[in-house]
Amino acid sequence: MSLAPSLSSPPELELLQGGEEFFPALIAAIDGAAQWVQFETYIFDLHGAGALVAESLIRAASRGVTVQVLVDGIGTEPISQVWQKKFSASGIAWCVYSPLAAGLGGFGILVPDRWRRLHRKLCVVDQRLLFCGGINVLDDFYDPNYGELAHARFDFALAATGPLVADAVDAMALLWWRVQAGYSARQRHLSAAWERVKAAGYGGRVDASALSPAKPSRAGQRRLVPRPGTKAVLVLRDNLRNRGSIEKAYLRAINNSRQEILIANAYFLPGGRLRRALVRAAKRGVKVTLLLQGRYEYFMQYHAARPVYDKLLSVGIELYEYEKSFLHAKVAVIDSHWATVGSSNLDPLSLLLAREANVVVEDVAFATDLRTRLLAAIASQGRRIDAVTYSQRPLGQRLLGRIAYALMRLAIFVTGQRY
């Protein structure tokens, strides 16, 4: 099994588990920035670790680094006046992707066009160091809906250097321009929006060697693990040219699998093609293991996945539910050399509507590291779902599953998508 020929090589990679590993690495990179920090996230929450990240961005902007932060208009709550003043005083450029229409309040989410969210989590520092994964700017021990958590959220990100960073730079700069242009079009200042993008260092890709020698970047000095022969690619999903890119990456790897498929995914409701690929793999003798959300978070995502379990269990696929805390990971390892870490769930919201970003890696050492961590989580915190017991679950649970599944299918139909 191999990746596409366009893969960049050779990158350097580091797997980061949870906020305990991710936030210190992220803050250290931002503190080492010399010229430019590009940041995108679905949730930017200013509690605990989130405040520490915000303070690092303020420090960077205050010393003259261009800092652009793009957050989702639904995932991120409006920030307080105190933080607005801090960001403004430091010079941070803060922008909101697709905010809900004024006057509609919470009902704005009922408009199907508003379901196309910015869900990717990306940060690039000085065009040299990329962070990508499923971790929002959200403290591991805090949830906006459920408050303080007894145990850390289970999630992953990675840090990477190498040619794939340039792809992230271009994608993030282009989206920033589009969002700025949309705002400026409403204000009739399109040329000003483009000038702001060029002033940040983008008018086409910038040569990283042009960074000021008076302020050498320390972002690239992070001790990532060099692995000769490693291949990695940034896979983006959008609603233009890359509508099915992440799903296709999964399908290619699953269809080529020979020994093992190990997936951890927070919101798991794969479409027909992915389900059939997993079933075919199990039938040809591949060991398929899924680690899924075991704690109730959202009605639709939690219950709609349950009707899919029966078919998977019937062919010998092993299903585990993570119950210690909220599972938020979106990762996979196949045959101990293919791996992916990113923001995309295997559900219709991610695979059909949201902007997502995954890094796909072909490297034995990286894949083995991720596999070891997933198996440890399954062994210590996973509850295996028994096929016989599950088939005998109460009628009420079956009805909730069917209702949620039907509502999800209806929502997909309203958007004009097929899944």
> How confident is the model over 104-129, as pLDDT tens digits?
555 555 555 667 899 999 999 999 99
pLDDT for 3: 52
Distance of CA 150 to the CA centre of its chain: 24
The torsion angles phi and psi of 332, rounded to 5 degrees, stand at -155, 150
Residues 6+ apart with CB under 8 A from 92: 57, 58, 61, 67, 69
- pTM score over 0.85: yes
Task: Give catalytic residues, as residue numbers.
Answer: 119, 121, 126, 328, 330, 335
8 Å CB contact between 334 and 340: no
pLDDT for 412: 77
Number of H helices and number of E strands within the chain? 13, 18
pLDDT for 303: 87
Low-confidence ranges of the chain (pLDDT < 50): 1-2, 4-9, 185-186, 203-214
8 Å CB contact between 325 and 151: yes
Give residue 103's region: left, alpha or beta (phi > 0; psi -120 to 50).
left
DSSP state of 215: S
Distance of CA 274 to the CA centre of its chain: 19
pLDDT for 147: 93
Cis bond before residue 394 (omega within 30° of 0): no
pLDDT for 160: 95
The torsion angles phi and psi of 343, rounded to 5 degrees, stand at -105, -10
Q: What is the rounded distance in angstroms from the CA atom of residue 365 to the CA atom of residue 381?
A: 24
Q: What is the rounded distance in angstroms from the CA atom of residue 97 to the CA atom of residue 100?
A: 9
pLDDT for 24: 97
What are the DSSP calls for 13-38, one per residue?
Answer: EEEEEHHHHHHHHHHHHHHT-SSEEE
Listed in order, the ranges of the chain carrying CATH 3.30.870.10 are: 12-215, 227-414
Burial 275-311 (b: 16+ CB within 10 A, else e): eebbbebbeeebebbbbbbbeeeeebbbbbbbbbbee
Give residue 192's region: left, alpha or beta (phi > 0; psi -120 to 50).
alpha
Q: What is the rounded distance in angstroms from the CA atom of residue 10 to the CA atom of residue 326?
A: 34
Enter the tokens of residue 153. 């959220």
The torsion angles phi and psi of 255, rounded to 5 degrees, stand at -65, -25
**N-terminal to C-terminal alpha carbon distance within the chain:** 26
> 10 Å Cβ neighbour count for 41?
26
pLDDT for 407: 86
DSSP state of 154: B
The CATH architecture one would assign to domain 227-414 is: 2-Layer Sandwich (3.30)
Percent helix, percent strand, percent coil in the chain, to nearest 5? 40, 25, 35
pLDDT for 142: 95
Sheet containing 318-322, strands listed edge to edge, beginning at the edge strand earlier in sequence? 231-237, 356-362, 338-342, 330-334, 260-265, 287-293, 318-322, 382-384
8 Å CB contact between 74 and 109: yes
CATH 3.30.870.10 for domain 12-215, yes or no, is yes
Distance of CA 354 to the CA centre of its chain: 10
pLDDT for 1: 43
CB-neighbour burial class of residue 163 (10 A; exposed 0-12, middle 13-18, buried 19+): middle
Beta bridge partners of 293: 322
Enter the tokens of residue 186. 């409403």
pLDDT for 213: 37
Give CA angle at 400 (399, 406), nearest 5°.
Answer: 90
